[in-house]
């Protein structure tokens, strides 16, 4: 299957600093990538849809000025958590869509990155 990488895998930072997380599709081009956040013992919650060459689409309740998303190329999307605070500590996971063909039909399949564990002190 397709491979999506994330960097860094783990980051610890002080409150008030900004943290950038990279998401790359390694062997395919992705016009659309997604950013999820997962708190302990909870499911994945979609934060935003990252669109190559245009503005990201944020889910309700997600502050676009706090979580800056840039999708400057077909293989790279970045999420910057600005002025991070302890409540932003979470597991951030990106994914990318790829159309796959099965029994003659095209379907969207999402491939997930390995995730980034952010801890804000």
Partner 1 sequence: QKEVEQNSGPLSVPEGAIASLNCTYSDRGSQSFFWYRQYSGKSPELIMFIYSNGDKEDGRFTAQLNKASQYVSLLIRDSQPSDSATYLCAGYTGRRALTFGSGTRLQVQP
The 3-state secondary structure of 78-118, one letter per residue: EEEECCCCHHHCEEEEEEEEEEEEECCEEEEEEEECCCEEE
Alpha-carbon distance of 59 to 86, in angstroms, equals 21
- Interface residue list for partner 1 (CB under 8 A): 1, 32, 34, 42-46, 49, 91, 93, 95, 97, 105, 107-115, 117
72 closest CA partner among 92, 99, 50: 50
Nearer to partner 1, 15 or 93 (CB): 93
Smallest distance from partner 1 to CB 62, Å: 13
Taking the complex as a whole, the smallest distance from the CB of residue 7 to partner 1 amounts, in Å, to 13
Q: Which is nearer to partner 1, 30 or 120 (CB)?
A: 30
Shortest Å, Cβ 102 to partner 1:
8
Q: Which is nearer to partner 1, 8 or 114 (CB)?
A: 114
In 3-state terms the chain splits into helix, strand, coil percentages (rounded to 5) of 0, 60, 40
As a whole number of angstroms, the distance between CA 37 and CA 116 comes to 10
Q: Which is nearer to partner 1, 15 or 53 (CB)?
A: 53
Minimum CB distance to partner 1, residue 30 (Å): 12
């Amino acid at each position: 299957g397709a491979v999506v990488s994330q960097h860094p895998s783990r980051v610890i930072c002080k409150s008030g600093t900004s943290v950038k997380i990279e998401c790359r599709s390694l062997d395919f081009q992705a016009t659309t990538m997604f950013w999820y956040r997962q708190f302990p013992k909870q499911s994945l919650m979609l934060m935003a849809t990252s669109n190559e060459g245009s503005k990201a689409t944020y889910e309700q309740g997600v502050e676009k000025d706090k979580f800056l998303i840039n999708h400057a190329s077909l293989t790279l999307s970045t999420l910057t958590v600005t002025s991070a605070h302890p409540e932003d500590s979470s597991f951030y996971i990106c994914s990318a869509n790829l159309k796959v063909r099965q029994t003659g039909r095209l379907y969207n399949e999402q491939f997930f990155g390995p995730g980034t564990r952010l801890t804000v002190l």
